[in-house]
Amino acid sequence: MEAENLTQEASFRRGIGFDSQKYIELQSQFISQRRQQIGNKLYLEMGGKLFDDFHASRVLPGFTPNNKISMLQQLKAELEIMMVLNAKDLEYEKVRADLGITYQDEALRLIDIFRDEGFMIEHVVITQLSADYSNALAFSDRMQRAGLQVTHHYPTAGYPTDTETIISPDGFGQNEYAPTTRSLVVVTGPGPGSGKLSASLSQIYHDYQRGIQAGYAKFETFPIWNLPLQHPVNQAYEAATADLDDNNIIDPYHLAAYQEQAVSYNRDVEVFPLLKAMLEKLYGESPYQSPTDMGVNMAGHCISDDAVCRAAAEQEIIRRWYHARVEERRADTTDDSESSRIEVIMKRIGISKDDRPVVAPAVELAERTAQPASAVQLPDGTILTGKTSDLLGCSAAMLLNALKYMAGIDDDVHLLSPQAIEPIQTLKTEHLGSINPRLHTDEVLIALSVSAAESEDARQAITKLRDLRGCDVHTTTILGSVDESMFRQLGMLITAEPVYWRKSLYQRR
């Protein structure tokens, strides 16, 4: 038997909690109205991920990862996209964790996607640039050779509190100017901390010098301003940015101006005085009395089932905690500040790791067999566990059993016979130098694909791969890079105990 069918989770909850179509229509209409209210030009900062927003799709079930692009399609004729990257992220090759690629590569990928979707994108802005950032300068040269216009922005003294210096030739005035041509400029980047706000304000300053009246608005999906501060969806955002030490807070400016509570986060509140002072200095007045005013986020109006979104967000927070603990273990550091911040969030809303259904079954099997184990929760709530054997790693065993279950194949049927597995093991150990003869998930899927040429069961099992997307998985040891990448490609939501199987100084990944 390749794995074990353990139980049916009685309290399982999965469903749609977010109205995607309503969101696309409502959001595009509201952005268009804001642009018309502002005047000649609106710089719209897009917080979070403009494309492949998997965090939003996980905590708001029904929100598709590319919802924002679908929304912007409604405004395509009047907008252009500006890509902003922080020179420090380029210099130190920061990685987008959910895709496993650097911010440089992510920027290139996004530019290609925007062009394929028919969006105009001509400008790249590199912020916080200094002469000793060789990687950032090389990236700038590469972008220019590719036909993009690259604008360099430099560190601004006193940012964001010294408004007199910032709004002057010695502040934003030292930055280069990107001559955008459309009335709506969507300002985005490969991840947080890119400098999108400062880039937008710098552009507004330079537009003013050229007689162009421009304004600013913020499109940040999270935190959702009209949900309670302690709502799990907002707390999941705080967990997602624990490495940045961001905090959700009640917008003090909104409370003072309107006597209404609205949720914002610390960085928007910190920079709001700069935005307000700049608009008042350039134009005599500001249309905004609070950070909430400058936002255009309609996501809170499109939640169709609050209970579903709460449950999904709670699971996301636990996943973030496990991920932080694994990364701390990989770094071999005593600094557990990120996981500790997320643990505070978990206690705040009354959840623990025990609320993740796949954890206990995996841990119990590992204790019983004294070998690594894994567990998966399938779309109908069924939990399957995978154990380590002489032929298969626990993740590979779990994957095969999941495919069999969903394809309705009898549990006693071996999708891969020992005779089919042994030649692969021989190749790995005798010719490729592997110390682990057990098949990984990618090797199992390749073998299954080969078997599908002659086996109807194998063919049926492969058709169920798409149904694994969104399924939760837990393993009792840190995964190697191959298995981790495979689960990511399948769209499965993986967590792991922060321990290695073998106590070695060098860990093969």
Give 451 or 97, the one with higher predicted confidence.
451
Q: Which amino acid is at 507?
A: Q
Does the pLDDT value for residue 8 go beyond 60?
no
Contact yes or no for 163/278 (Cβ under 8 A)? yes
Please tell me the predicted confidence (pLDDT) of residue 95: 84
Buried b (16+ CB within 10 A) or exposed e, 466-482: ebbebbbbbbbbbbbeb
- Model confidence pLDDT, tens digit, residues 289-304: 999 999 999 999 999 9
With bands split at pLDDT 50, 70 and 90, how would you rate the model's confidence at 503?
low
% of the chain at pLDDT higher than 90: 70
**Strand ranges inside 128-247, DSSP E:** 149-152, 184-188, 214-219
pLDDT computed for residue 507 by the predictor: 46
Q: Is the pLDDT of residue 38 over 70?
A: yes
pLDDT (tens digit, 9 = 90+) per residue, 207-251?
999 999 999 999 988 999 999 999 999 999 999 989 877 889 999
Place of tokens 């609070």: 290
Question: pLDDT digits over 56-81, tens only?
Answer: 999 999 998 888 888 888 899 999 99
Structural domains present in the chain: 3-10+357-496 (3.40.140.40), 20-222+258-298 (3.10.630.10)
Give Cα separations from 104 to 92, 135, 139, 190, 468 (angstroms): 10, 10, 8, 8, 30
Q: Is 380 strand, coil or helix?
A: coil
Tell me the C-alpha distance between 134 and 488, whole Å: 32
Q: Which two tokens stand for residue 40?
A: 């000649």
Pick from 389, 330, 333, 394: nearest CA to 361: 394
Q: Which residue has the higher pLDDT, 97 or 390?
A: 390
Please tell me the predicted confidence (pLDDT) of residue 505.
42
- pLDDT of residue 431 exceeding 70, the answer is no
DSSP 491: T
